Structure 1
Amino acid sequence: MAASALDLFKLDGRRAIVTGGGRGIGQAMAQALGEAGAQVALVARTASQLRESTEQVPNSVAVAADVMTVDAAALLDDCEDALGGPADIIVHAAGFQHREPAVDFPREEWDRILQVHLTAPFLISQELGRRQIDAGRPGSHIFIGSLNNFQSVVPDIVAYAAAKSGIGGVVRAFSKEWSGKGIRCNGIAPGWVHTALTETLFSDWQRAKSINDRIPMGRLAEPSELGSVALFLASDASSYITGQMLVVDGGWTSA
């Protein structure tokens, strides 16, 4: 008997890793996966954030690590030990921002931004993909892109724009090589999202108004609205979707 449409979203028996799972979009995505039945390893640098997040995310365990410096194999070993078995799903939500004009952008900040947003997701998924292929296990890898995959949205974030553009290429390349082995790779490109990281930016009411006026839906996304998209891409509900960057922006890029 074929599964019902709602059953396709269930993740019972699956294990997921969410980097950046201690706050914001990462926590919301982890919560959606946990509510759908997955066991979830939350990865973040800050122990206090992890403690709070495990209280919010069902079926979750905390793995304190910095994706910028940790060895990918060691990180996966720690996560899979905490989960009690091999990971089926990974969501790369760790990140931070540095704002400075391109002519002044420091090399060290360029390196840090590319490391966390591009290199670390590549290396971690590379290792997880290797393990899944060797074991003949299917999987879903979910990367976080940006509106900057498609257009220059705001100034002073040249490294972030470069990293997120690169993520689009990683998604397509992994999908080309792995989809025939049952491993799907997709990305989510959020628009403006209401998180702690955007609070400072939107403290300037004129800037906030200009952004809201540019969004056809007239508001920012809530983190939970990104969480449901991550659940869709992690689950069998999206079983024939791979190599895609799904834009979730309230209509920004189509306006």
Structure 2
Amino acid sequence: MSRPADVPGTVNAPPSTSDLFSLDGRTAIVTGASAGLGARFATVLAQAGATVFAAARRIDRLAELADSHPRIHPVACDVSREADRTRLTDTALTVTGRIDVLVNNAAVSGETRAADESPDAFADVLGVNLTAPFHLARLTAEAPLPTGATPGGGRSIINVSSILGLVSAAPLGGAAYAASKAGLIGLTRELAGQWGHAGTRVNALAPGWFRTEMTADLFGDERSARWVERNTLLRRGGHGHELDGALLFLASDASSYCTGQVLTVDGGWTAR
């Protein structure tokens, strides 16, 4: 009997344990990479062996990040602009000929109180946090599929959502931000359903309260910091490196049979 032809998503041989989280030879794009979790994500993927195109508006910050690792390449990009998004993926394809991993991390927070948020401001937040990830995911999925990119075939798209896409965190949060992060979860599941047959995996990462530039005011205020600690099962906020394992799992062959899922890393916040 003849051997069936390989098809996208077919695992022909399992990777060794030592290679399970390796990204050697692969290309990754990380948006919102100039600071905070995005900068950490770019560094972790580069350390795992990927060539990383780190995108953000603050090119000076990106240059500093690129100086820290030879496999990180800075790309000035405002994800709210369609032309910038197209240029970003074109740059990765021109330089390496492939896109294996997309991390849709760029986001803006918007107003905290719904009463203070105009419809135009609401739409602007969704434009950055939801429309841009959709377009970048489409551009990635439509790019030529590298032959033998992974033992599982295909590529990995990681949408960075939030626990605010799962539960309310009033009085913190924000209507537009919560809506955009919940929308990312719905988008993740739908794209996973539409693109799974081609070997493209789409998952969401939902962090809880992590100490970043965006949450500096939160953790800098004693009362709000205590509120986070009191409502988190581990009684503390998260540190950036505590997302490393989750990111590498979703980006690598370790999650070759995982798609359409939301991986929540929140110290137990949503388990209350």
Question: TM over 0.5, yes or no?
Answer: yes
1:77 aligns with 2:90: yes
How many residues matched? Answer: 254
Could you say what the CA RMSD is over the residues aligned between the two structures, in angstroms? 1.9
1:140 aligns with 2:152: no
**Structure 2 letter corresponding to 1:152:** S
1:44 aligns with 2:59: no
TM (normalized to structure 1)?
Answer: 0.94
Q: Tell me, in whole angstroms, the C-alpha distance in 2 between the residues paired with 1:2 and 1:177.
A: 25
Q: Tell me, in whole angstroms, the C-alpha distance in 2 between the residues paired with 1:195 and 1:28.
A: 10
1:202 aligns with 2:222: no
Query: Where do 5+ consecutive residues of structure 2 fail to align?
Result: 1-12
Helix, strand or coil at the partner of 2:16: coil
Contact 1:145 1:164 in 2 (8 A): yes
**Structure 2 letter corresponding to 1:195:** T
Equivalent position to 1:154, from 160, 170, 183:
170
Contact 1:30 1:57 in 2 (8 A): no
Per the alignment, residue 115 of structure 1 pairs with 127
Per the alignment, residue 9 of structure 1 pairs with 21
Q: Tell me, in whole angstroms, the C-alpha distance in 2 between the residues paired with 1:34 and 1:58.
A: 8
Moved more, 174-183 or 70-79: 70-79
Q: Tell me, in whole angstroms, the C-alpha distance in 2 between the residues paired with 1:146 and 1:33.
A: 20
Contact 1:29 1:228 in 2 (8 A): no
Give the greater-gyration-radius structure (CA).
2
Percent identical among aligned pairs is 38
Per the alignment, residue 194 of structure 2 pairs with 177
Q: Tell me, in whole angstroms, the C-alpha distance in 2 between the residues paired with 1:225 and 1:117.
A: 23
1:163-213 Cα shifts (integer Å, max 9, x gaps): 011001110011001112111000000000011211112222011101111
Q: Tell me, in whole angstroms, the C-alpha distance in 2 between the residues paired with 1:96 and 1:55.
A: 26
Per the alignment, residue 108 of structure 2 pairs with 96
The structure-2 alpha-carbon separation of the partners of 1:38 and 1:252, relative to structure 1 and needing over 3 Å to count, comes to same
The structure-2 alpha-carbon separation of the partners of 1:123 and 1:95, relative to structure 1 and needing over 3 Å to count, comes to same
Helix, strand or coil at the partner of 1:218: coil
Query: Where do 5+ consecutive residues of structure 1 fail to align?
Result: none
TM (normalized to structure 2)?
Answer: 0.88
Helix, strand or coil at the partner of 1:6: helix
**Structure 2 letter corresponding to 1:64:** A
Helix, strand or coil at the partner of 2:74: strand
Moved more, 40-49 or 227-236: 227-236
Moved more, 226-235 or 101-110: 101-110
The structure-2 alpha-carbon separation of the partners of 1:178 and 1:37, relative to structure 1 and needing over 3 Å to count, comes to same
Per the alignment, residue 33 of structure 1 pairs with 45
Contact 1:68 1:116 in 2 (8 A): yes
TM alignment of 1:237-252, pairs within 5 A: 237-252=254-269
1:191 aligns with 2:208: yes
Q: Note the C-alpha offset of 1:56.
A: 3.0
Between structures 1 and 2, the one with greater helix share:
1
